[in-house]
């Protein structure tokens, strides 16, 4: 026979008279609580399912010059900073946030941003930023042609991947390409690359 007791809130803020999982008052069945806790499937749309932070830049070497002119085969800034995430749901969005120091030489034009790949070596990468117009070739541009017109700044960018259709592991890194012959650089003496990925419930 189970003993039913009224719920009471005591003067010190404690609550008595609660039976959890059929156990006597005051005994908590942690397994029952865990099994009834909010799971990913019960979370509201927009909830953060998981967060993965990539390795921070530790390279003390020289700058990385973007040399690729192919949007589908970018120059990646640092392979060690790649983020690896395995979605728990096949329709989630993956939010990507990254920061890095960028330098544009005179007349430089091109693109820098987050790429997705289904492969751990970042082969067959896909740009996840949408484009306005025919291409992204002027996403980063220094329109000054004088020899000392270098632009240095810290780029912080947020974008998201809406192409998730399964729970296979996904890989993200930051890279770029040139649309002319001048230089875009991720450099020595600048802010190092950091990347973070979050799975967002659909």
Question: Per-residue pLDDT for 78 more than 90?
Answer: yes
What is the Cα–Cα distance from 137 to 150, expressed in whole angstroms? 19
Q: pLDDT at position 43, please?
A: 87
Region 46-59 average pLDDT: 95
Q: pLDDT category, 116, cuts 50, 70, 90? A: very high
> Where are the alpha helices (H) located in the chain, listed in sequence order?
30-35
Which residues share a beta bridge with 85? 170
Taking a C-beta distance cutoff of 8 angstroms, is the pair 75, 173 a contact?
A: no
Q: What is the mean pLDDT of the chain?
A: 87
| Cβ neighbours around 99 below 10 Å, total | 16
Q: Which residues contact 10 (CB under 8 A, 6 or more apart)?
A: 16
pTM of structure:
0.80
The DSSP call for residue 186 is E
Which has the minimum average pLDDT: 10-19, 35-44, 167-176, 185-194?
10-19
Contact 40, 49 (CB under 8 A): yes
Mean pLDDT in residue range 100-129:
97
Question: 63: pLDDT confidence band, cut at 50, 70 and 90?
Answer: very high
The DSSP code for 81 is: G
Q: Is the pLDDT of residue 33 over 80?
A: no
Mean pLDDT value across residues 79-84: 97
The mean pLDDT value for 171-183 works out to 94
Judged against a pLDDT cut of 70, whether residue 1 lies above it is answered with: no
pLDDT at 16: 55
Whole-number Cα distances in Å, 116 to 81, 126, 127, 151, 161: 13, 5, 6, 27, 8
Can you give the pLDDT at residue 167? Answer: 98
From CA 77, how far away is CA 112, in angstroms rounded? 10
What is the Cα Rg of the chain in Å? 25
Say yes or no to pLDDT of 2 above 50: no
How many CA atoms does the CB half-sphere of 201 hold within 13 Å?
A: 11
Over residues 15-24, the mean pLDDT reads: 52
pLDDT at 44 over 80: yes
Indicate whether 156 pLDDT > 60.
Answer: yes
């Amino acid at each position: 026979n189970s003993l039913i007791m009224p719920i009471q809130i005591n003067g010190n803020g404690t609550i008595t008279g609660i039976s959890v999982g059929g156990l006597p008052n005051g005994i908590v069945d942690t397994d029952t609580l865990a099994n009834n806790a909010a799971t990913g499937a019960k979370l509201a749309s927009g909830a953060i399912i998981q967060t993965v932070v990539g390795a921070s830049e530790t390279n003390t070497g020289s700058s990385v010059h973007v040399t690729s002119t192919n949007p589908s085969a970018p120059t990646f800034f640092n392979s060690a900073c790649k983020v690896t995430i395995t979605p728990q749901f096949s329709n989630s969005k993956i939010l990507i946030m990254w920061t890095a120091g960028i330098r544009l030489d005179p007349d430089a034009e091109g693109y820098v941003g987050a790429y997705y790949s289904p492969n751990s070596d970042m082969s067959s990468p896909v740009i996840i930023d949408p484009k306005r117009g025919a291409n992204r070739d002027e996403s980063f541009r220094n329109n000054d042609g004088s020899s000392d017109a270098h632009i240095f700044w810290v780029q912080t960018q947020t974008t998201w991947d809406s192409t998730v259709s399964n729970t296979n592991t996904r890989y993200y890194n930051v890279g770029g390409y040139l649309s002319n012959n001048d230089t875009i650089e991720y450099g020595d003496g600048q802010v190092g690359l950091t990347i973070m990925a979050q799975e967002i419930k659909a």
